Amino acid sequence: MKRNAALWALCAAMSSTSAYALLAGAASADTPTLSYETVLTDLEDPWDMAFLPDGTMFFTEKCRGLSVRLPSGDVTALLGMAGTEGYATTADDLFCEGQAGMNGVAIDPDFDSNRFVYVYSTSSLTEPGSNRVIRLAVNDDLSGVSDRTDIVEDIPYKPEASDHPFGGPGAHNGGRIRFSPGDGYLHVTTGDIHGGHVPQSPTLLGGKVLRIDRDGNAAADNAPPEGFDPRIFTYGHRNVQGIAFRPGDHNPVISEHGPWHTDEINVLFNGANSGWDPRPNMAGRGDCPDDYCGYSPNQMEGMDPEERAAWMPMTDYETYPDAMVPAWENNNLSQGISGIAYLAGDQWGDWDGKLAVGYMGIGFGGTPPGQRIDVMDIAEDGQSATATEFPLPMESGRFRSLVMGPDGSLYAAIDEGDIYRITPN
């Protein structure tokens, strides 16, 4: 019976250069005690939330669609996907498969005047399916949406299964969308769809972070390499499912899932390469299953993460010496890093301004699942970090999304179907 974390995992954790406080008590004394409340339960794969100042919460469910929870607690179903019932509007082209479906949601910074909300969703309007960023106008009483405009139509979707772990359709779908409070641009995170050539492609939008305006146009000062799609802000990513903006300078910070090793937190800079390149016959590698080396050389069995990382690095500095240096590598482990949010307000004590990082948990090949929320202190240069485990006031879960609420609490959605409000006391 396998219930032990392999020794190498512990050794890897202990030998990492990134500091990690295993116990909350090891952190500063000026940190709050936490309580929680279940805001919504029995949802179907809740994926993301976005708040208005009065506490109104838009939220997505991956296979159902977009809904809104009013401050009264009443919930209105706004935009349903194919096969759903009970929504004010249904869009039959929106579908879910595997990791794909209705993912991120964001509210326009000028919502008061334009009433715009945005979702990232998989659509069948173009073959073989694609991910779209969809702009919707919400009516005054928050009972319906109209004026759908697809401002991005061509984010790749994986339509067929392949010979890889998690190899079903819809894999590595990215999907977080956030407006920067600094420049006001919408940032869109995408995934490599198990396509070896996708992350370094100058034209395919998978494995990228896009930076666009509310109409889908590229931000004027995006600076990707010559020949790249101008909407690309950074490239060479694997599967980015978290983005937040650093307090002060509003620099974007992302989380991306590692390949059986090395989850990453990266502080982005304009035009940069994150160094993920899973093509076969690259960097000393040969052929790989279905032309994707992302889990090789031993994709179906456990293996020392450091040995695996040496063969298929998350950031390939040898091929791309100028690649971004991650701030955090999760002690070389891959545990399903996902939503991130900066804690804000005096109520968080020493955690004010620190990054909350959610992990969904993946137990494979000796890696402990690691379902948790970390509080991370990222160095000024963005190239190192220390992490403290958040003392959860409730049972752990698959932390898909973390969002700061207007009430100063942290909201957490877990795949099991709950949205929690975590309040510092």
Partner 1 sequence: MLRKSFVLGAALSLNLAPAAAADLNAGQELYSAECAQCHGRTGRGTAVFPRIAGKTEDFVTERLKQYRAGETVGPNSALMTAAVNELTDADIENLAAFITTNFP
**Segment contacting partner 1 by CB under 8 A, of 27-35, 248-256, 295-303, 376-384:** 295-303
- Out of 206, 242, 358, 397, name the contact with partner 1 by CB under 8 A: 397
395 binds partner 1, rule: CB under 8 A: yes
Retrieve residue 64's tokens.
Answer: 């159902």
- Out of 89, 149, 416, 421, name the contact with partner 1 by CB under 8 A: 416
The phi, psi pair for 262, rounded to 5°, reads: 60, 65
Strands 89-90 and 102-107: unpaired
CB of 324 to partner 1, least distance (A): 27
161 binds partner 1, rule: CB under 8 A: yes
Going by C-alpha positions, the residue among 266, 305, 270 that lies closest to residue 384 is 266
**Segment contacting partner 1 by CB under 8 A, of 85-93, 214-222, 248-256, 411-419:** 411-419
CB of 107 to partner 1, least distance (A): 25
307 binds partner 1, rule: CB under 8 A: no
User: Which 3 state secondary structure label does DSSP give 3?
Assistant: coil
Retrieve residue 310's tokens.
Answer: 């040496």
- Out of 167, 196, 259, 305, name the contact with partner 1 by CB under 8 A: 167
- Closest to partner 1 by CB, 20 or 295: 295
CB of 400 to partner 1, least distance (A): 8
Q: Within a 10 A sphere around the Cβ of 115, how many other Cβ atoms? A: 18
Strands 385-389 and 145-156: unpaired
Going by C-alpha positions, the residue among 235, 307, 317, 304 that lies closest to residue 272 is 235
Distance set, CA 79 to CA 32, 85, 112, 133 (Å): 38, 10, 20, 14
Residues 328-367, interacting with partner 1 (CB under 8 A): 360-365
Q: Where are the beta strands (DSSP E) in 128-171?
A: 130-138, 145-156
User: In terms of residues, how long is the chain?
Assistant: 425
Strands 252-256 and 240-245: antiparallel
Cα separation, 243 vs 335, whole angstroms: 17
**Segment contacting partner 1 by CB under 8 A, of 105-113, 126-134, 138-146, 166-174:** 166-174
Cα separation, 84 vs 63, whole angstroms: 8
Beta bridge partners of 376: 355, 387
With beta carbons less than 8 A apart as the criterion, state whether 410 and 341 touch.
Answer: yes
Residues 361-380, interacting with partner 1 (CB under 8 A): 361-365, 369, 371
- Out of 32, 109, 144, 168, name the contact with partner 1 by CB under 8 A: 168
- Out of 45, 48, 61, 277, name the contact with partner 1 by CB under 8 A: 45
Judged by CB under 8 A, how many residues of this single chain contact partner 1?
A: 33
- Out of 22, 300, 310, 379, name the contact with partner 1 by CB under 8 A: 300
- Out of 99, 189, 409, 423, name the contact with partner 1 by CB under 8 A: 99
398 binds partner 1, rule: CB under 8 A: yes
What residues line the site for partner 1 (CB under 8 A)?
A: 1-3, 45, 62, 98-99, 161, 165-168, 170-171, 299-302, 360-365, 369, 371, 395, 397-398, 400, 415-417
